[in-house]
Chain A
C-alpha cells in the first residue's frame, strides 16, 4: 500500500507540468533569473511568444544601456549617452542577424525548426547576459572612479563581458539540450561561431564604447577596416611593427 502511494506520488511529480510563465513582465524576468530550467521548459511550450519577446527585448535594452553608460563614463560628456544607446543595438542587431542562421542550421540538421522559438531562446540568453552585465556595471564605475587607465578599463569591460557572456552561453546550451528534437553539436557550434563573428564586427562598426583619451568623443567612427583587420593590426603592433609614428590627436588626419 505504502509502495503504491509512493509510486503514485513519483509518477504525479514526474508528470506534473511546470508552473506557467508569469503574467507580469517583472515576473517573467524574475523567473528567468531564479528558475531558468522552468523558464526554458515554458518557452518551448508557450504560445504567448510575442509578449515574452517584448519583455526580453525591453530587459536587454535597459540592462545593456546601464552597462553601456557605465563603460562610457570613462570619458565624460556625451560618451556615456552614446555608449548607452549603442550597446543595446549591438546585442539586438547581432541577434537579428544570427538567429536565421541558427534556425537554418537546425532545420537542415533535424528537419524542423521554429524561427520564433529560436528567437525566444536567443533573446532569453541575451537577456540573462544583459542582466549580469547590468549587475557588473557598478564594478566598471568603481574602476572609472578610481581613475583606472584606458587599457585597464578595457580589460575590466572585457572581463565583465566574458562573465556575462558565459552565463548566457550556459543558458543557451541548456536550452538547446532540452529540445525534443536534438540539435547536433556541430550546428550549435557553427551558430555560436557566426554569433561571435557578427557580434565582433557589429561592436567594431558601432565603436567607440570606451573612448581613447586622445580621441574625439563621437557617436560612431567611420568604418576603417574590419574587426578581423584590426586583430591583424594589433598582432603586428604587439610585435613592435607599427604602420605610423603615433596615434593621431583629435582633428589630425589618420
Chain B
C-alpha cells in the first residue's frame, strides 16, 4: 500500500490483520466475538494514545522527529504489522482449529499478537529513529516506551478475553 492509496483503504488495511487474527481465535470454540473484535481497537488505540508520550519524551531528549513524521510512521508501522497478521492468519487458523485444548489455542493467538506487536514496533523504530543522532538516548527512550505499550496492550487484551 503506497502513501498515495486512498485513506479509507489504508485504514481498512490497518485493521484487517488484527481483526482477522481476533476472529481466528473463535475457531477454537472458546472466546467471544466481543473479545475477538477488541483486538483491532486495542491495536490502533494503544499506539495512538501512547504517541504523544513518545513525542514529548523525544522532544525533551532532543531527538524528536516532526509530529507529522511520527504520525505517518505510526500509520505505516500499523499497516506493516497488519500485513504480517494477514500472512499468519491461514497458519494460525489451521493451528487453532485443530487444537482441542483451549489453552493451546489461546497461547497460539497470544503468540501471534505478540509477534505482530514486536515486529510493528521494530518497523516503527526503523521508520522514524534510525537516522537520528544520539542513538543511545533514542534506543533507551524507545525501549522503555515500547515496554509500556506492550504492557498496557497485554493487560487490556487479557481483560477483554476475560
Contacts and interface: CB of A to CB of B under 8 A. Distances in A.
Given A108-B123, A224-B100, A198 B94 contact: yes
B94 A201 contact: yes
Interface stretch (B55-63, B81-89, B153-161): B81-89
Interface string B71-93: 00000000011011111111100
B69 interface: no
Contacts of B115: 190
Interface residues of A, number: 25
A103 interface: yes
A108 B81 contact: yes
Interface stretch (A40-48, A147-155, A225-233): A225-233
Given A108-B123, A198-B94, A198-B95, A100 B100 contact: no
If over half of B's interface residues share one DSSP class (helix, strand or loop), that class is named, otherwise mixed; here it is helix
A104 interface: yes
Contacts of B101: 225-226, 229
B91 A229 contact: no
Interface in A194-228: 194, 197-198, 201-202, 204-205, 223-226, 228
B98 interface: yes
Nearest to B105: A226
B130 interface: no
Given A197-B95, A228-B99, 20 more contacts: A97-B91, A100-B86, A100-B90, A101-B90, A102-B87, A104-B85, A104-B87, A105-B84, A105-B87, A108-B80, A108-B84, A108-B123, A198-B94, A201-B95, A223-B98, A223-B100, A226-B100, A226-B101, A226-B104, A229-B101
